Structure 1
């Protein structure tokens, strides 16, 4: 049986980390699995709960925000030595394949190169466009190295594919694989405010590029221009300064009863069952896990026409798209779904069927097993 080492860039439970956990749970009967993490965290707890072999080895990213050249070089040298140490550990574990779960870490590629074993690099992000991160070596050199140090480079959308391969002379190692999603429901009834009006929900990390400000402004416009008193649940965590800035925006519009802030929730699907529609207002979403979760929950989505979102959403078919940053247009799209429950349900049903046909674990597992050289079941 092939033994694969999955390397996570963090021990938290955001989109990429959830995907890693769901992937290893899907493949655990077909491959031997070991997971490396840079520190302790929520992901470690889940790996332990499911009895997945995992180890903590402190390592750093080869990307960052506004890092000086000297500091960047220090981090790269550190990654080089840690990569060699990981190679030593993986040799003792008799691993056959290394799977780096995001492009933010390079230690897996270094370890695989030292051991001369297969390396797969899965990229979930644009970097600058969605997280304001830059490669210490620059994007052109880094993508060249990603290509050279990998047997396969997998990305989660065609938008990310174009972003990373546009300056490469050859692209045969690169492929797009849409990530499936497993819906997680709370084993107990969730505690939620009783729905009084039409309810919208926006889920994810609370930060500027996720578009919570746009959602708040659109709900305010619905009230002022169309006399629609819609509710908005903002679910997620973020830096306190930015969260307070959003709360100030809500208070200025006197919408404290309409707009509710809820910290990160473990069981997103249970919360989606309590809303009418889901908003995806990200300025540049690489893929859109929340979009797929909404599809599978049979909820209509209004999303910004950018990044991977417009690959998943087809306007007036399985969702509604609006121009990023256009508050008036966003409000109008929400109003369309508010005014017609029939249309809302039709769009949600088409979205569900599209997700079932195009983003299944069966299809994904087959492709991934081919990449890992494992016979799929």
Structure 2
């Protein structure tokens, strides 16, 4: 039995949260015993407990922009020392064999790994573009303290290599997978049409994602205004909430929507738990991230749901969407081109259907859920074997 300690940056159910949860609950419990420690309570805690997983809440600090000041650095450093000690004690009590640190925002695994002489698998989901100093600092720490660095895409791997801190061939890529049974083209979305007052047969374009500075809600809204003017029965939906402490971003988005002349056909729902229904409702899924998104889980969910995808041509989406095959990729940070690409798919029913079918096929071929779990299982076993 291999005991694995998972450290993560939050307790919600967005991309990195979901893929970690799906991995943990689908591991062979005859071979692996997962322990999860999260920095706060939330829906992920409830989901893990519901799946019979041992989960604890220890309020260790997560690297966020709020710490990027002299007072914040002192506060963060103090928390890192205090809770690193608690986590090391936890690891010893549970006889942990492997630490799986999930995202570069969690540094506590470094302390635990060194203090307890446990190998650390550091899974990196992010492509940190700004601030540059944070990219350099996190890259250096990952290269120094990770026994094995795993990235979710080639785009993330190459970004880390460009920092200059990693040896050639030292980073392993493991693509995420999603449950193609849970996300499928036959999921019901009729209840959402009733809830959101969308007429039967009216097309829906939308996105699911954090409301933050780079997920691109503003760009989609700019694109949506021209699309809503042309397509009189079109609806556009935004699903997602902001990080705790950044709720002002949600208000900012609501205010922008309220100023749109087509606000009656724009839905801003906030966070929802029913991603399966939302993806089923959408005719086209849009990923308008203004920074390169590493390997967005929501795109895999959309593909599993049989939907064409339109997004900006950078980051991990370029490994998921074959331009012209199961979606279209627009010029980066160009809402006009984004609107044009959405319009091209929206205006052609046959193309939209073909692209949706190909999305599902590509998901099953390249981002298999079974392969995802198998790859991690073999990686855990290799770490323990090599460490021993």
TM-score above 0.5, yes or no? yes
| Maintained 8 Å contact 1:222/1:229 | no
Q: Which residue of 2 aligns with 1:234?
A: 238
Q: What is the CA–CA distance in structure 2 between the aligned matches of 1:31 and 1:43, rounded to whole Å?
A: 20
Q: What is the CA–CA distance in structure 1 between the aligned matches of 2:26 and 2:178, rounded to whole Å?
A: 11
- The alignment covers a number of residue pairs equal to 369
Q: Which residue of 2 aligns with 1:356?
A: 364
| Maintained 8 Å contact 1:96/1:117 | yes
Moved more, 363-372 or 55-64: 55-64
Q: Which residue of 2 aligns with 1:208?
A: 213
Q: What is the CA–CA distance in structure 1 between the aligned matches of 2:347 and 2:322, rounded to whole Å?
A: 20
Q: What is the CA–CA distance in structure 1 between the aligned matches of 2:64 and 2:248, rounded to whole Å?
A: 24
| Maintained 8 Å contact 1:62/1:72 | no
Matches within 5 A, 1:168-247: 168-182=165-179, 184=182, 190-192=191-193, 193-195=197-199, 197-224=202-229, 226=230, 228-238=232-242, 239-247=246-254
| Maintained 8 Å contact 2:149/2:171 | yes
**How far is 1:250 from its partner?**
3.0
**How far is 1:246 from its partner?**
2.9
Q: Which residue of 1 aligns with 2:113?
A: 112
**How far is 1:113 from its partner?**
1.4
**TM-score after normalising by structure 1:** 0.90
Residue 45 (str. 1) matches residue 12 (str. 2) = no
Moved more, 208-217 or 72-81: 72-81
Q: What is the CA–CA distance in structure 2 between the aligned matches of 1:46 and 1:228, rounded to whole Å?
A: 40
Compared with structure 1, are the counterparts of its residues 212 and 169 closer, same or farther at alpha carbon in structure 2 (3 Å cutoff)? Answer: closer
**TM-score after normalising by structure 2:** 0.87
Q: What is the CA–CA distance in structure 2 between the aligned matches of 1:213 and 1:68, rounded to whole Å?
A: 28
Q: Which residue of 1 aligns with 2:27?
A: 27
324, 328, 334: which one pairs with 1:326? 334
| Maintained 8 Å contact 1:151/1:173 | no
Q: What is the CA–CA distance in structure 1 between the aligned matches of 2:298 and 2:228, rounded to whole Å?
A: 26
**How far is 1:73 from its partner?**
4.3
Moved more, 112-121 or 176-185: 176-185
Q: Which residue of 2 aligns with 1:8?
A: 8
| Maintained 8 Å contact 1:147/1:173 | no
Residue 143 (str. 1) matches residue 139 (str. 2) = yes
Compared with structure 1, are the counterparts of its residues 66 and 89 closer, same or farther at alpha carbon in structure 2 (3 Å cutoff)? Answer: closer
Structure 1: unaligned runs, 5 residues or longer: none
Compared with structure 1, are the counterparts of its residues 141 and 271 closer, same or farther at alpha carbon in structure 2 (3 Å cutoff)? Answer: closer
Q: Which residue of 2 aligns with 1:277?
A: 284
Compared with structure 1, are the counterparts of its residues 70 and 23 closer, same or farther at alpha carbon in structure 2 (3 Å cutoff)? Answer: same
| Maintained 8 Å contact 1:31/1:374 | no
Matches within 5 A, 1:229-268: 229-238=233-242, 239-268=246-275
Query: Which is bigger in relative contact order (C-alpha 8 A, separation at least 6)?
Result: 2
| Maintained 8 Å contact 1:62/1:79 | no
Q: What is the CA–CA distance in structure 2 between the aligned matches of 1:342 and 1:313, rounded to whole Å?
A: 18
Compared with structure 1, are the counterparts of its residues 63 and 216 closer, same or farther at alpha carbon in structure 2 (3 Å cutoff)? Answer: closer
The CA RMSD measured in Å over matched residues stands at: 2.4
Q: Which residue of 1 aligns with 2:386?
A: none
Q: Which residue of 2 aligns with 1:314?
A: 322
